[in-house]
Every structure is written in C-alpha cells, then in structure tokens.
C-alpha cells in the first residue's frame, strides 16, 4: 500500500499547476455537461420545457450533496491521514467513502421517487412546465446511486494527489453526456426525458471508470468492503469534514427553490433568462471552485504534517489565483454576454433580460472565490464548525434575507442585486477569518489527529 501523497511541495508553482489545472478542467467540463441539457432543450424553442428543466435543477444539488459530503470529506481526511503517514486510517477512509456513497445515493433516490408528486408543485412550476419537470426528476432519481458515486469518487482520489485520474473520470462522463444529449433529444425525439437519460448514462460510465481505477495497483489503497467501518473515528471524520461543502450544496438547493418561487411570479421568459444567465456566470464561480478544490489536498496535507510555513504560502497563492481567474472570466462574460445568451435561445426578450442579469449578478465575480477558499481552508485545518458557518453565509444567512428584502423593495432589479451583495459580504467575512484564525504554532495541532 502506498503511504504517500502524489506531489512535491518543494516546487509551489509546478504543484499548483499540477493540482489546479485538472481540477479546474474537471469542474468546467462538468459545468459544460450540466449546461448541455439547457443548451439543447433551449434549441427546441419551448420556454415551458426550459422552465421545467430549470425548476428541476435543485435535484442535481441534492444528489451532489451526497457526493460532496462523502467524497469531499473523504478527500480531506485522506490527505491528512497521508500527512501523518497513517496507512490503516487511509484504507478505512477510502472504503467508507466508496460504499457509503452508493448506499446514500440509493436512499436519496428512493426518497425522491416517493415524494415526486409533492416536489414538483412545491418548486412552483406552471401547469405546462410541471410535466417536463416531473419527467426529468423521475429519471434522475432512478440514476441517483451512480450520480452520487461518480462525484464522490472524483473528489476522493484527489485526496491522494491523483488529480489527472479524477479529470479523466469526469471527462469520460461529461463528454459522453454532451454526445448523448442531441442523440436522445433530437434524433430519438425524447425531449426532456432524453436529457435526463443522457445525464444518468454518462454518470454510470464514469462510475465504472472509477471502480476500475480504484482497483488498480497504481492507486495503492484498497476500497475493499473488508476495510469498511462505521466506527465514529472514521465515519464522523469523513462526514464532519464533508459537511461544510455539503451544507453549501444544501443551502444552494434551498435558495434555488426559494429564488425560483420568486422568479415564477415573473413568468417563463424571466425564468428562462435567469436560468441561462446562471449557467453562464457559474463558469466564474466554478473556475474559482476548481482552484480551491485542487488545492484542498495540498492544504490538508500541509496541516496534517504541521508545515504551517508552506500552508501560509499556498493559501496566499490560492487566494491570488482565484482573484485573477475570476476577474478575467468576469470581463469575458461582460463582453460576450449577448452572444453567449443567444447561443442558448435566440429570443429577443430572453437575450435582453439575460444581458441585464449578467451585468448585475457578476459584479462580485472577481472576489467570489475568497469565500470558497475560506470554507475549504477551515475544513482542511480541522475546524469544521467555522467552515460550516461560512458555508451557510453566501447562499443562506446573508443571501436569503437580502434577496427577500431587495425583491420586495425594488422588484426584479432587487432580485438581481441581492447576489453580488451577498457574495462580496461573505467573501470579506471569509478573508477576515483566515487572517484572524490562521494556525500560529504546534499547539494548534493538539486535535489534528482525527482518526
């Protein structure tokens, strides 16, 4: 069994490129494949179909929560265990993440199937859009185990420094989804159902890739059921470290439902405009998330080994990278907004509203990554409660009150402004907490060993 991390911290620049590029590409490609459903359904020219698809998007967030909870937590726990050179704990973490992602995915899928008829009306879909919303959710629920498992394993193997293998697995699923979408939607004329089938199929193929890779000698840590344990020192460690990221996804899910219910009062054209805009501007936050996710194993490993000097260096470099990347992509979206929206749906009303949405909602784009970095930093330095609190700010504790207040005062304009206000406030809070609570000495390591 390999008991080391697959990277060299003596060359920070090269290490950041090695860890961040695969992670960024993975997340952006995943974002493209999530956008593929919206893109191809938009080509059918039906606002009701696009609205139904958009209103079903929180289900993706629910399934992602399981993958983030188990895979993200497993990645951080594995990196810290490898920093301590603890091979026994490493094997338990890998096995727990592997099997629990399948089990939890099955449970969540079952719950979605049972509650389907109550979920769709709750999402606020119009009578016509609700038909397509129900079709999409039904198929995603059936494929829930594969969707949870593939995301969890993509995150887990990064915990050992295997960023390129994670990239390959995600690329396999994402590219397949993009290829299958037009086949099912246009050729087989399955519309929204075709988009859902393409998504589930691509996740099944990605899952097979991860199963094969995790059983290769090159990974070096067995996911055998023999190493599976529900004991507190393993399960609680993984779940507590994954909880902040999972709560981020849950809060995103809740805020999406509540914001969509507000949007529903503005009609399908506005829902379609905002839905397309969200897909476009998510490239900014996903790029920044890719950088922080790529560096998460490095930060966890440095904390686990007690190397605070390099921990500070890599934290600063990661912050700078998110700001630079966020600024460049924000500028790109501002310049190319009309063309990007037109690529999804060539409807003058949708384009006009979409351009307005981009230019307001992306005002805080350059600094959005600082909040993500803060959440990741406290997760990887064994302070999950602080990380959890930060994860609740941008889309929950700050965003939702601001959303309802601004929307009630300024209508749709207030709805749009609420996003940059919440993002910039939570980013500033995260940055202050990193500076204030950065580990200062070996005494901070007293509870470092979780397993």
435: part of which helix (H) or strand (E)?
A: helix 412-437
Assign 367 a pLDDT band (cuts: 50, 70, 90). Answer: very high
| Res 443 pLDDT > 50 | no
Domains: count for the chain: 1
* pLDDT value at residue 432: 94
What pTM value is reported for the model? 0.71
Contact 157, 71 (CB under 8 A): no
| Res 305 pLDDT > 90 | no
Assign 8 a pLDDT band (cuts: 50, 70, 90). Answer: low
* pLDDT value at residue 448: 43
* pLDDT value at residue 222: 84
In a domain, 238, yes or no: yes
Q: 324 or 237: which carries more pLDDT confidence?
A: 324
Indicate the range of 59-63, 290-294, 328-332 predicted with least confidence: 59-63
| Res 76 pLDDT > 90 | no
Contact 95, 223 (CB under 8 A): yes
Give the DSSP letter string of 238-283: HHHHHHHHHHHHHHHHHHHHHHHHHHHTT-HHHHHHHHHHHHHHHH
**In whole angstroms, what is the distance from residue 301 CA to residue 14 CA?**
17
- Please say whether the dihedral angle defined by the alpha carbons of residues 91, 97, 103 and 106, taken in this order, is positive or negative: negative
* pLDDT value at residue 373: 94
What average pLDDT does range 156-166 have in this prediction? 83
* CA–centroid distance for 173 within its chain: 16
| Res 350 pLDDT > 80 | yes
In a domain, 7, yes or no: no
* pLDDT value at residue 446: 40
Q: CA triplet 118, 122, 127: central angle to 5 degrees?
A: 90
| Res 115 pLDDT > 80 | yes
- SS3 for 183? helix
In a domain, 444, yes or no: no
* pLDDT value at residue 252: 73
Indicate the range of 56-65, 110-119, 188-197, 275-284 predicted with least confidence: 56-65
In a domain, 400, yes or no: yes
* CA–centroid distance for 400 within its chain: 20
Question: Which runs of consecutive H residues, i.e. helices, occur in 68-162?
Answer: 73-83, 87-122, 127-142, 144-156
* pLDDT value at residue 294: 84
* pLDDT value at residue 449: 43
In a domain, 330, yes or no: yes
Assign 7 a pLDDT band (cuts: 50, 70, 90). Answer: low
Task: Give, to the nearest 10 degrees, the angle between helix 348-361 and helix 412-437.
Answer: 30
Residue 127, number of CB atoms within 10 A of its CB: 7
In a domain, 4, yes or no: no
**In whole angstroms, what is the distance from residue 36 CA to residue 341 CA?**
13
What average pLDDT does range 186-196 have in this prediction? 88
Measure Cα distances from 313 to 27, 48, 229 in Å.
24, 50, 36
In a domain, 66, yes or no: yes
Domain that holds residue 392: 12-437
What average pLDDT does range 370-398 have in this prediction? 86
* Range with the largest mean pLDDT of 34-43, 135-144, 375-384: 135-144
* CA–centroid distance for 170 within its chain: 13
Place of tokens 């050179």: 85
In a domain, 197, yes or no: yes
What average pLDDT does range 339-364 have in this prediction? 88
């Amino acid at each position: 069994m390999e008991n080391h991390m697959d990277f060299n911290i003596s060359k920070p620049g090269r290490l950041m490129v090695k860890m961040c590029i695969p992670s960024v590409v993975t997340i952006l490609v995943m974002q493209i494949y999530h956008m593929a459903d919206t893109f191809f359904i938009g080509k059918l020219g039906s606002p009701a179909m696009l609205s139904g698809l958009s209103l079903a998007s929180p289900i993706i967030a629910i399934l992602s929560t399981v993958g983030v909870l188990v895979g993200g937590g497993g990645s951080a726990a594995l990196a810290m265990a490898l920093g301590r050179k603890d091979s026994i704990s490493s094997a338990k973490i890998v096995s727990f993440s592997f099997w629990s992602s399948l089990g939890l995915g099955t449970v969540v899928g079952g719950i979605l199937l049972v509650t389907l008829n109550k979920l769709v009306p709750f999402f606020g879909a119009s009578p016509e859009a609700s038909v397509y919303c129900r079709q999409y959710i039904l198929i995603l629920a059936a494929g829930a185990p594969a969707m949870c498992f593939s995301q969890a394993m993509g995150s887990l193997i990064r915990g050992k420094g295997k960023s390129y293998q994670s990239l390959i697995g995600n690329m396999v699923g994402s590219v397949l989804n993009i290829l299958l979408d037009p086949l099912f939607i246009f050729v087989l004329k399955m519309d929204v159902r075709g988009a859902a089938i393409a998504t589930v199929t691509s996740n099944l193929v990605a899952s097979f890739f991860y199963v094969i890779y995790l059983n290769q000698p090159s990974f070096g840590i067995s996911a055998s059921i023999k190493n599976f344990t529900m004991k507190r020192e393993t399960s609680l460690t993984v779940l507590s470290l994954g909880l902040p990221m999972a709560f981020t996804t849950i809060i995103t899910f809740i805020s999406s439902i509540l914001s969509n219910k507000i949007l529903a009062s503005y009609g399908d054209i506005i829902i379609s405009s905002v839905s397309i805009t969200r897909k476009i501007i998510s490239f900014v936050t996903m790029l920044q998330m890719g950088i922080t996710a790529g560096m998460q194993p490095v930060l966890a490993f440095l904390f686990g080994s007690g190397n605070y000097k390099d921990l500070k260096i890599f934290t600063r470099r990661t912050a700078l990278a998110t700001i630079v990347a966020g600024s460049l992509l924000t500028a790109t979206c501002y310049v190319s907004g009309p063309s990007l929206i037109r690529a999804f749906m060539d409807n003058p009303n949708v384009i006009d509203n979409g351009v307005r949405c981009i230019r307001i909602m992306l005002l805080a784009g350059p600094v959005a990554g600082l909040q993500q970095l803060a959440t990741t930093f406290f997760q990887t330095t064994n302070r999950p409660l602080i990380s959890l609190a930060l994860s609740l700010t941008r889309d929950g504790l700050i965003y939702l009150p601001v959303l309802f207040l601004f929307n009630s005062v300024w209508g749709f304009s207030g709805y749009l402004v609420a996003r940059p206000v919440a993002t910039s406030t939570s980013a500033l809070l995260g940055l202050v907490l990193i500076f204030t609570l950065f580990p200062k000495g070996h005494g901070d390591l007293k509870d470092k060993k979780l397993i």
